């Protein structure tokens, strides 16, 4: 019966599939996302989320809102948990700029 066993074929992954599997971005997107300023901002957002999660104030599926912006830091008075929809939506002016 062992003679009837077919050899296992190994499929080579194309370059585009490798990119998708590894989660790499395409084109110019990585240049902006990997800039030192954006890396620093992302680190601050992640620290804020971990801080509120440790305190039990943020639930799964929620974002952490920096009330006064990232520049005000990750102090508790500047952080609050919000739904993703509420945190990512801002009122807009008629010319599509963000209302302040």
What mean pLDDT is predicted for residues 83-99?
A: 85
Instruction: Give the residue with greater pLDDT, 48 vs 96.
Output: 48
Domain boundaries in the chain? 34-87
What is the pLDDT confidence band of residue 15, given thresholds at 50, 70 and 90?
Answer: low
Name the DSSP class of 11.
Answer: P
pLDDT value, residue 87: 87
**Max intra-chain CA distance, the chain:** 76
10 Å Cβ neighbour count for 73?
14
pLDDT value, residue 54: 93
Residue 60 pLDDT > 70: yes
In order of 20, 30, 34, 68, the CA distances from 15 in angstroms are 9, 17, 22, 43
Structure tokens at 28: 């110019």
Q: What is the pTM of this model?
A: 0.60
């Amino acid at each position: 019966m062992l003679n009837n066993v077919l050899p296992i074929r190994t499929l080579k992954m194309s370059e585009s599939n490798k990119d998708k599997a590894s989660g790499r971005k395409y084109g110019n997107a990585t240049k902006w996302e990997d800039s030192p300023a954006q890396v620093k901002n992302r680190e601050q957002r992640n620290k804020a989320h971990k801080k509120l999660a440790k305190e039990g104030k943020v639930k799964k599926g929620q974002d952490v809102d920096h009330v006064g912006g990232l520049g005000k830091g990750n102090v508790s008075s500047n952080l609050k948990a919000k739904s993703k929809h509420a945190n990512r939506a801002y009122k807009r002016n008629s010319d599509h700029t963000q209302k302040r």
